[in-house]
């Protein structure tokens, strides 16, 4: 299906739910590192950022992960999230070229 048809189709489908921001606001988090673990019922993803360890002198600091958020979802929602991410990545790469996955030293 062409992008124009996709956009038209998306516009025809009414939103099932309204998004209402929490009174305290919506937390924006940047993460360049994640860790996933799971149970029989849920998947938990911890999000963090690689930083120099704050307790060490800057010139000798080893790397550490500053944890900023953890999200737990049921398996069904994890599968929906997987599909949404795959679709988003495919569309991005179709428009901008393949995403290079960096390799850690």
For residue 19, being part of any structural domain is answered with no
Q: String of b and e for 28-53 (b: at least 16 CB within 10 Å)?
A: eeebebeeeeeeeeebebbbbeeeee
Which tokens is 40 given? 């029989």
pLDDT 10s digits, 15-73: 688 888 999 998 899 999 999 999 999 999 999 999 999 999 989 999 999 999 999 99
- Tell me if 11 is assigned to some domain: no
pLDDT at 77 over 60: yes
In a domain, 92, yes or no: yes
Domain annotation covers residue 62:
yes
Which secondary-structure segment (H or E) carries 67? strand 63-74
User: Is residue 33 domain-resident?
Assistant: yes
Q: Which domain holds residue 89?
A: 29-96
Whether 101 maps to a domain, the answer reads: no
- ∠ CA 31-33-36, rounded to 5°: 110
Domain-located, residue 34: yes
Domain count, the chain: 1
Residue 104's pLDDT band (boundaries 50, 70, 90)? confident
pTM of the predicted structure, to 2 decimals: 0.72
Instruction: Work out the number of other CB atoms within 10 angstroms of the CB of residue 81.
Output: 14
Structural domain includes residue 12: no
Closest CA to 78 of 47, 49, 37: 37
């Amino acid at each position: 299906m062409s992008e124009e048809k996709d956009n038209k189709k998306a516009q025809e489908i009414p939103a099932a739910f309204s998004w209402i921001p929490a009174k305290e606001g919506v937390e924006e988090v940047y993460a360049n590192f994640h860790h996933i673990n799971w149970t029989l019922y849920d998947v938990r993803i911890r999000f963090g950022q690689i930083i120099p360890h704050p307790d060490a002198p800057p010139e000798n600091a080893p790397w550490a992960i500053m944890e900023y958020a953890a999200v737990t979802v049921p398996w069904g929602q994890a599968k929906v999230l997987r599909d949404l991410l795959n679709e988003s990545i495919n569309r991005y790469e179709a428009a901008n070229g393949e995403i290079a996955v960096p390799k850690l030293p």
